[in-house]
Amino acid sequence: MSRFARGLSITALGLVVAACRSQSNEPVFRTTTTVKEVMKLMVEPSADILWNAVATSVTATGTEVKAPESDEEWTDVQRAAVVLTEAMNLVIMPGRRIAPAGATSEHPDVELQPDQIEALVSRDRATWATLARGLQDAGSIALKAIEARDVDALADAGEAIDTACEHCHLKYWYPNKKKP
């Protein structure tokens, strides 16, 4: 290889490295919604589907068990479990705000204001991520139950999801709640 070609190759390599280095300072993701919106539009509806997928009712005519039966019903429950589980990746993304600027709590008698929640999360992002991973773990339990079409395990997963949600809410949304 000639000196000119070698010099040109080294220059090109340097430009590629410089371009990669300048791009690495850019955020990889752009957030377009807040945690509050992800929760309201993705997590809550998905959790509701999972919690309502299995139910036992005792009536005058006997005991009725509601559970997914058809492939379509199982797919609907699976979709909800995937959305709930993957939404936690969105929730922990750096730069995602808790709520839109100027937003206030819908239940100020129970929960903190969004700016207070944001301050708690900012001070301890590691715990925030750990609690989000707890909900992912519960969602994974639901996905395994769905794959096995195990109604009892799906009901247990619903309890695990509820527990994971409550752990986070007690830490960030209503940490001053009096425990019974």
Cα 43 to Cα 39: distance, rounded to the nearest angstrom:
5
Examine the pLDDT at 179 and tell me if it is beyond 80: no
| Tokens 């799906």 -> residue | 154
Q: What is the pLDDT of residues 50-89, one digit of tens each?
A: 999 999 889 888 888 899 999 999 999 999 999 999 999 9
Query: Helix (H, G, I), strand (E, B), or coil: what is residue 152?
Result: helix
Specify the pTM. 0.80
Per the CB < 8 A criterion, the answer to whether 21 and 84 are in contact is no
Per the CB < 8 A criterion, the answer to whether 92 and 129 are in contact is yes
Examine the pLDDT at 144 and tell me if it is beyond 50: yes
Distances 36 to 66, 111, 117, 176 between C-alpha atoms, Å: 31, 13, 11, 20
Per the CB < 8 A criterion, the answer to whether 113 and 105 are in contact is yes
As a residue count, the chain comes to: 180
In the predicted model, what is the mean pLDDT of residues 143-171? 96
Examine the pLDDT at 25 and tell me if it is beyond 90: no
How much of the chain, in percent, has pLDDT values that exceed 70? 83
Q: What is the pLDDT of residues 83-129, one digit of tens each?
A: 999 999 999 999 999 999 999 998 888 999 999 999 999 999 999 99
